[in-house]
Structure 1
Amino acid sequence: MLETRSTGDARTAFARSGAGPLLLLMHGAEGSHHMFDAITPHLAAHFTVLAYDQRDCGETQGPETPATLLQLADDAKALLEALGHERAHVYGTSFGGRVAQALAIRHPQCVQRLVLGSTWPLPEQLEALNPQAVARIGELRSGLPETAEALAEFFFTPAFLAGQPQWKNIFRTAQPASARSQRRFAAVADCPALPPQQIPMPTLLLAGELDRVVPPAVTLGMARAIPRCEAVSLPGVGHAGSIQAPEAIAGHIRRFCLASPNQES
């Protein structure tokens, strides 16, 4: 069941399930809490899973002004506080991994252990790290809905789409020219000067070896900067790992976040 809470000047929609230590899930640029529907059942036996919609996504309502990435991190902190929690384990994927980085650096007291999937360092633009792919994704977005299947091929592997062809249409109803989408794109373009070296808590990096959006070397390369870090490559997985390999990713999250303190990275 979807609930809402006031988080400053926004009203954040979220779903929670399970029991155990709190695990906060942060979705990607054009997603919502539903991108974690497949992985939540694998986590809910071990965690209280909290998946929410960021500003200008899903059912969350906020002011009609672009959010900064730091505001998105503050929203996450405000949601935890509104629900009576001081801290949580955090899993952020793609752009959600950038929000998770900002939360970890800006409000380290809120994050127990950090899991970052298919993401890139806060100070850097993805356009500079993967220019050809970003340019092509932009072209495909401008051609929606006719280009929906071609766009899906950037986010999912051919094998996954062959087995679950319904995901070929995930972008068919996207509205890239809407005011809400434009505000979201502005937030995604934000690059605060918060380097990964400032992430203080144990961190796990997960990268799909077939990711065409964020090259796995970009995500895994952050291990050289984050002081207490483990890096894992996911064989046969593309960009949207929580959808393509939910059981495998849930296993890594359980292992890492539920490790005893003397096993910290």
Structure 2
Amino acid sequence: MTEFVQAGEVRIAFDRAGQGPALLLMHGAEASRQMFAALVPHLAKQFTVIAYDQRDCGETEAPERAATLADLANDAQQLVKALGLKRAHVFGSSFGGRVAQALALLHPRAVDRLVLGSTWPLPRPYEELCPDARRLAELRRGLPGTAEELASWFFPEAFLAQRPELRRVFAAARPETARSARRMATVATTLPQGVADIVAPTLVLAGELDRVVPPTVTLAMAGRIRGADAVLLPAIGHVTAMQAPEVLARHMVRFLNPEGVHA
């Protein structure tokens, strides 16, 4: 059941499941908390899982102006505080990984352990790190006609053969709205701080077949975060939470439960 909480100027929509230490899930640029539907049941055995919608996404309501990455980090910190928590484990996927990095940098006391999946490092822009950024932008502008090709960037062909309906998922994208334009402006923002300043214990995960964020870009982050672990996921694409939720959950539980208590 959807819950809402007022966090500063934002009315945040979220789902909460399970019991145990708090674990906050941060979705990607064009997604919502629904991208974690298959992942949450695997994590709720160990954690109180909180999946929420960022500004200009899903059911969250916010002032109609473009936010910054710092705004999104502050929203997350306000959410943690509004739920009566001192801190939480945090998992961020793709752009959600950028939000998670920002939270860990701006509000380090709010973050227990940090998991970054299929993301790219602050403060560098996506276009600088990902050589195919221009083609990806062209495909996004070409929707809905480019939906099937765009799907192959987010999911491996073998997985799409098993789940052919995902080839058409991007076809449902609406024409550009003021809300989606604000969201894209937000995604383009950054912080002056970089990943080397993160102090939270960190796990970095990358899909071997990720075409949106090359795995080399994601895994290189581990070398810049003190003591970080890194895992390459074989035969996995960009949206690990949908393609391989059990695999993702297993790595997350192992890292977030260092005492070795597993479901």
TM-score (norm: length of structure 1): 0.96
Amino acid aligned to 1:234? L
Distance in 1 separating the partners of 2:168 and 2:198: 37
Deviations 1:163-215 (CA, angstroms, capped at 9, x unpaired): 01121122112135211111000110012111111110110000001000101
Give the unaligned 5+ runs of structure 2: none
SS of match in other structure, 2:190? coil
TM-superposed deviation, 1:260 = 3.1
Amino acid at match of 2:220: G
Is structure 2 residue 186 aligned with structure 1 residue 187? yes
Alignment match, 2:220: 221
* Matches for 1:134-173 after TM superposition, within 5 Å: 134-173=133-172
- 2-side partners of 1:10 and 1:171: how far apart? 27
1:187-206 paired onto structure 2 within 5 Å: 187-206=186-205
In the TM superposition, what are the counterparts of 1:9-28 in structure 2 within 5 Å?
Answer: 9-28=9-28
Deviation at 1:34, TM superposition (A): 0.5
Equivalent pairs counted in the alignment come to: 260
Note the 1:68-147 alignment, pairs <5 A. Answer: 68-131=68-131, 133-147=132-146
Question: SS state of the match for residue 152, structure 2?
Answer: helix
* Structure 2 counterpart of 1:164, one-letter code: R
1:235 aligned residue = 234
1:45 — aligned with what? 45
Q: How is 1:251-262 mapped onto 2 (pairs within 5 angstroms)? A: 251-260=250-259
Q: Secondary structure at the match of 2:114?
A: strand
Gaps of 5+ in 1: none
Deviation per residue, 1:91-142 (Å, 9 max, x gap): 00100000000000110111100000000111111111113x2111111111
Q: Which SS does the other structure have where 2:170 is aligned?
A: coil
1:154 and 1:140 map into 2 onto residues whose CA distance is 10
8 Å CA contact 1:22–1:88 kept in 2: the answer is yes
- The alignment-based identity, stated in percent, is 58
Report if aligned partners of 1:97, 1:116 keep a CA contact under 8 Å in 2. Answer: yes
The structure 1 segments of at least 4 consecutive aligned residues displaced by more than 6 Å after TM superposition are none
Distance change (3 Å), C-alpha of 1:176 and 1:206: farther
Q: What corresponds to 2:246 in structure 1?
A: 247
The answer (yes or no) to whether the contact 1:119–1:214 under 8 Å persists in 2 is yes
Q: TM-score, normalised by structure 2?
A: 0.97
Hey, what's the Cα distance between the residues in 2 that align with 1:53 and 1:176? 20
User: What's the offset of the Cα at 1:157?
Assistant: 0.4
RMSD of aligned Cα (Å): 1.1
Contact 1:175 1:181 in 2 (8 A): no
**Alpha-carbon spacing, 1:138–1:176, altered in 2? closer, same or farther (3 Å):** farther
Contact 1:153 1:168 survives alignment (8 Å): yes
Tell me if the contact between 1:201 and 1:228 (Cα under 8 Å) persists in the aligned partners: no
Per the alignment, do residues 176 and 74 of structure 1 end up closer, same or farther by CA in structure 2, a change over 3 Å counting? farther
